[in-house]
Structure 1
Amino acid sequence: MTHDDLSRFRAGISTCELLTLVDLSTGTVLMSDSDVHFGQERLDHLCDLARSVFTGDLAATGTAILAGPTGSRVFVQSPDDATEVLCGLFGPAADLGAACAAGAALFHRDRLA
């Protein structure tokens, strides 16, 4: 996956404010894309949130959405490496189904490359 892939994803979902690729095993943000600068603390927080979603007693598998009145966070796990997760911040009017499908498609394209 490349930074251009993240940029194309964001361009296809109008309310995507931030998209990151994280490695849960190391707690590392591998790359990110946004129109505005998000501080490292904010990126790290999103990575920590993804780790809490996909590990622990009530761990999600594959895709998770955390929604609230000001927007949503979408997490899509790689089907090949469960430690790689796309994390996105979306505005309140986001098409979350399309966001999940686009995230899965990014990982699928990586499989074919």
Structure 2
Amino acid sequence: MSVHYAQTVVLLRAPFLVDRYGNTTSVRDWANATRTTVRRVAVQPDASTEDEGDRPVVVSGWRLITRRGVDVDLAPGDRVVALGRLLDVDGDVARWTLSGRHHHTEVRLKEVSG
């Protein structure tokens, strides 16, 4: 096994809340999120930014990468617990193909502090 794929993460997917009229909202119910453990992935630092406006904010970027041939069930709006951090999926999930076959998956993640 490669040391590059030595981390274990937990994928979180929360259902959408329903309002008092029975309509699905765009707000997630994180208290009832499903949790899926995924082993043997790589989580690496990615670009980060800082803003010192009215409130100092740091956005730390991370990248989750799977082994060759492995996919993960992640979508925009999901979260990942990795390296002791709660990270949001940032944008679309990239599923790389080679010769028409799934090669690996890469997911950009972000943590906002401040």
Normalising to structure 1: TM-score of the pair? 0.25
* Larger of the two Rg values belongs to structure: 2
Which of the pair is proportionally richer in helix? 1
Which of the pair is proportionally richer in strand? 2
